Amino acid sequence: MGCGIQYECGECKSRGDMGSGEWLASPLSGDHREPRSIVGGTLYCILLVGFAAVAISSPWIFVFAPDMITPLLCSSNVILLVLTGIFQQYWVHQVRKVRLQGYYDFSQKLKRIARLPFATIAFGEKLRIPYKSCDALDEGYYAATCPDAASIVRATMERLHYNDPTLAPALIRLLFHDCFVRGCDASVLISPSPGHTSSERAAVPNHTLRGFNAVDAVKRDLESACPDAVSCADALALMARDAVALLGGDDYPVALGRRDGTESNAWEVDLPAPFSKLDDALAYFAARGFGAEETVVLFGAHTVGGAHCGSFRYRLTGGAGGGGPAMDDALRCELLQTCGGAAEQGMDTDPAVFFDPDTPFAVDNNYYKQIVANRTLLQVDQEAAAHPATAAHVAYYAAVNEAFVSRFSQVMAKLSNVGVIEGDAGEVRKVCSRYN
């Protein structure tokens, strides 16, 4: 007996030709089965156990490695592609079984019907992958819409820095204040307006922020080259990177694609005060994904720029009892001359001093050397020299300048990605200080 209609099945034909009784059983009989492979079965079980293990452990993986969430979400359409492929093979296998039982015409139709939805999804996904695998930030985000964005920002920054070197430190601080409240979404740039007087800029920690005009200047240049393309959040991230580089720090890559937020509220600004306990500041940074070492590195930004006396004057008159660790006496007397003992009336008349008077416009490790010698302005910084979670890092960076310089850029790159909004969320503001 031959295979008859089953000759369509190459496997059956060749085996039929061998004359095996088992393979030549009636097409409709239950015996007409392919032998199951032990290897395939074992692999299938391993796959199932693997899926179960990942499903059970995934919440814990994310606790310990929050950075994995984005890449996993980004690869979701690749996973979908693989799954559709597996399901398609499963259906084709089912159809083959029908065919083996003799319903050839029917099975041919069924095969197409079974394949159709999977093929649609799979090809759809294939088209989507090269286009944009997900909303993750990407250095080439403006390749089509504003290929020169980064160089436009750099050119304007160079010009501004040449005219006013105090601007670069201000922009580094601006990025920090933006990113730690609502994420890096340019919410800090929104000006209070008659309709909404309490934007982030109105909050006390932001009263001393500077650099808003510089952001406006950069944004104007971007708009004239590529209207409505580059977000203010991306512009600020690039400006802060350029500020670090112009101050002698390491250049670092900035992935782009941030969108601008559409909310900015003063009451949400919970940035630590200069007299905060270091423990509280560490907890605050940890809540945003920065460990003790990374926090100490970011504090190193206080090697550039300066502070108004209002943020440390109480340390000059109160001695150690005035709050936190004591300041070196020679520095204290020097600062008393500049700041005076009594609080000034307003920020405009309050004097300001450089954090690092030797090299106020250089990204270097002087900040750490200063705190080791009790010669820093802010109480929270001074505490880092002796705190068990930070003292070793401070000692290390005080000793190895290159280590700090390179680490500072790495952590600044991380800072510029905090809580970004992407895709269709938010907007691309035309003017950074107001919503569209």
Q: Which residues are annotated as a binding site for heme b?
A: 302
Which two three-digit tokens encode residue 395?
């000692």
Taking each helix axis from N to C terminus, what angle separates 167-179 and 149-163, rounded to the nearest 10 degrees? 130
359 binds ligand HEM (CB under 6 A): no
- Is 301 a residue that touches ligand HEM (CB under 6 A)? yes
Q: Please give the residues from 49 up to 88 whose contact with ligand HEM meets the rule CB under 6 A.
A: none
> How far separated are the first and last CA of the chain, in Å rounded?
80
Count CA atoms within 13 Å of residue 135 on its CB side.
Answer: 9
Which residue positions form the known binding site for substrate?
Answer: 272
CB nearer to ligand HEM: give 354 or 396: 354
Nearest-approach distance from CB 236 to ligand HEM, in angstroms: 13
Q: Letter for the amino acid at 184?
A: C
Distances, alpha carbon 81 to alpha carbons 72, 77, 124, 129, in Å:
14, 6, 9, 10
> Does 306 help bind ligand HEM (rule: CB under 6 A)?
yes
What is the nearest approach in angstroms of ligand HEM to the Cβ of residue 402? 19
Using CB positions, name the residue nearest to ligand HEM: 305
Among 107, 311, 416, 433, binds ligand HEM (CB under 6 A): 311
Indicate the SS3 state at residue 423: coil
Residue 12 neighbours by CB distance under 10 Å: 22
Kindly give the interhelix angle for 391-399 and 292-299, rounded to the nearest 10 degrees: 50
SS3 260: strand
The one segment of 63-71, 168-176, 337-345, 385-393 that binds ligand HEM by CB under 6 A: 168-176
- 288 binds ligand HEM per the rule CB under 6 A: no
* Site membership for ligand HEM, residue 376 (CB under 6 A): no
Asked if residue 310 lies in contact with residue 378, where contact means CB atoms within 8 angstroms, the answer is no
- 177 catalytic? Reply is yes
Q: How many CA atoms lie within 13 A of 305 on its CB side?
A: 22
Q: What share of residues in the chain are helix, strand, coil (percent, to 5)?
A: 60, 5, 40
Which of 307, 339, 385, 420 is close enough to bind ligand HEM by CB under 6 A?
307
Told to check if 169 binds ligand HEM by CB under 6 A, we report: yes
Count of positions on this chain that bind ligand HEM (CB under 6 A): 26
Residue 237 makes contact with ligand HEM by CB under 6 A: no
- Does 232 sit near ligand HEM (CB under 6 A)? no
Q: Which stretch binds ligand HEM (CB under 6 A): 55-63, 148-156, 259-267, 305-313?
A: 305-313
- Least distance (Å) between residue 177 CB and ligand HEM: 8
Active-site choice (177, 308, 387, 393)? 177
Return phi, psi of residue 196, to 5°. -145, 85
Choose the stretch contacting ligand HEM; rule: CB under 6 A; options: 21-29, 188-196, 262-270, 301-309: 301-309
Locate tokens 């007409």: which residue? 32
97: closest CA among 181, 8, 32?
32
Q: In this chain, which of 302, 315, 393, 414 binds ligand HEM, going by CB under 6 A? A: 302
Judged by CB under 6 A, does residue 170 bind ligand HEM? Answer: yes
Q: State the sign of the Cα–Cα–Cα–Cα dihedral 159, 408, 251, 140.
A: negative
**Positions marked catalytic:** 177
Residues binding ligand HEM (CB under 6 A): 166, 169-170, 172-173, 176, 208, 210, 272-274, 276, 281, 298-299, 301-302, 304-308, 311, 352, 378, 380
